[in-house]
Amino acid sequence: MINFFIKKIGIDLGTANTLVYVPGKGILLNEPSVVAVALPENKVLAVGNEAKVMIGRTPETIVAYRPMKDGVIADYRVTEAMLRYFISKTVGRWNLMRPEVLVSVPAGVTSTERRSVVEAAIKAGAKSAYVVKEPVLAAIGAGIPIHEPRGHMVVDIGGGTTDAAVISLGGIVSSISVKVAGNKIDQAISDYIKKQFNLAVGDSTAEQIKISIGSATPIEEELVMTIKGRDFLTGLPRSIDIRTNEIVKAIDGELRDIVKAIKQVLHNTPPELASDIIENGIVMTGGGSLLRNLNLLVSRSTGVPTTVAKDALYCVAKGTGIALEHLEAYKKSIVAKR
């Protein structure tokens, strides 16, 4: 279908996945933030799903990698190519207008990093570009009334970063962005398997283990998963069974870092807002928040009731769409650059 009139696009530019949201149409695109580049001619070969299947399977002349590291642009030129691909795939080749684009960035980005996101979006075909911090968008997408003079706390756990923030009157009162999130948790799982079982497993297997049997707290009825990998000693393929409580042990350090960050934000929050948060609870968003019992761990550690938002994976993307439809109302939270 040709979309002649897509005027506004919201982009949740994540370390692991990029989601594109169009007001009135919902999420039109959800693809991995991966680009495949041919080294000799330095040319972009594939983006998104097509590039992800190439990771770890390419000849030496082609490299498939993620241009976003820890939620910020690590490779400017490749990110621009990736944005161009996502924008043109969304609006179609015959779109008559350059769209307005709103992009999410982690709470801890510097002004230089913000500018580079805006410039990349403009060069990729946007008429004007705005950037908004992820926790604000996550809160909007989770349906939290951020304009009230009340404290609301959001913890957004993505692939590269965990953003924890207290929001009141449309702005961030205190926040922290730590580079411990989904990818680091996957890494901890593969490190544990390497150490305990002398078995090498890839990133996608580690992620599969986390999703299928992972948990933030020990459980009585453990889940079991059979995994295949390469034996470090013999170099041959081998399979083992792994259980939930082993994964709990494997990822304990990473989860402790996330909880520490949440406590730090609570510690820096003015007393009036802190009492609002105890009343309203903490809302968790992002793919990382879907780990079994993570909300339980957070509420036990902080003493504050914690819930996972509905459609946690899509809160930031939905927030971009809502903020775009009401640009005036969200002026305070938006950094604009034409």
Q: Is 160 annotated as a binding residue?
A: yes
Q: Is 151 annotated as a binding residue?
A: no
Q: Is 36 annotated as a binding residue?
A: no
Which residues 6+ apart lie within 8 Å of 52 measured at CB? 31, 32, 34, 64
Q: Is 290 annotated as a binding residue?
A: yes
How, if at all, do strands 152-157 and 162-168 pair? antiparallel
Cβ-based neighbour number of residue 269 at 10 Å:
20
Q: Is 216 annotated as a binding residue?
A: no
Q: Is 208 annotated as a binding residue?
A: yes
Burial state string for 113-138 with b = 16 or more CB within 10 A and e = fewer than 16: bbebbbebbbebbbeebbbbbbbbbb
Q: Is 288 annotated as a binding residue?
A: yes
Q: How far is it, in rounded angstroms, from Cα 70 to Cα 285? A: 17
**For residues 217 and 256, is the Cβ–Cβ distance under 8 A?**
no
**For residues 237 and 230, is the Cβ–Cβ distance under 8 A?**
yes
Q: How far is it, in rounded angstroms, from Cα 128 to Cα 119? A: 10
Q: Is 9 annotated as a binding residue?
A: no
What is the amino acid identity at position 297? L
CB-count burial class (<10 Å; 0-12, 13-18, 19+) for 257: middle
Q: Is 17 annotated as a binding residue?
A: yes
In degrees, to the nearest 5, what angle opens at C-alpha 98 toward C-alphas 92 and 104? Answer: 90
226, β-bridge pairs = 241
Q: How far is it, in rounded angstroms, from Cα 153 to Cα 166? A: 4
Q: Is 302 annotated as a binding residue?
A: no
Q: Is 16 annotated as a binding residue?
A: yes
Handedness of CA 159, 164, 168, 171 (dihedral sign): negative
Q: How far is it, in rounded angstroms, from Cα 123 to Cα 266? A: 39
Binding-site entries = 15-17, 159-161, 207-210, 287-290
Binding-site entries for ATP = 15-17, 159-161, 207-210, 287-290
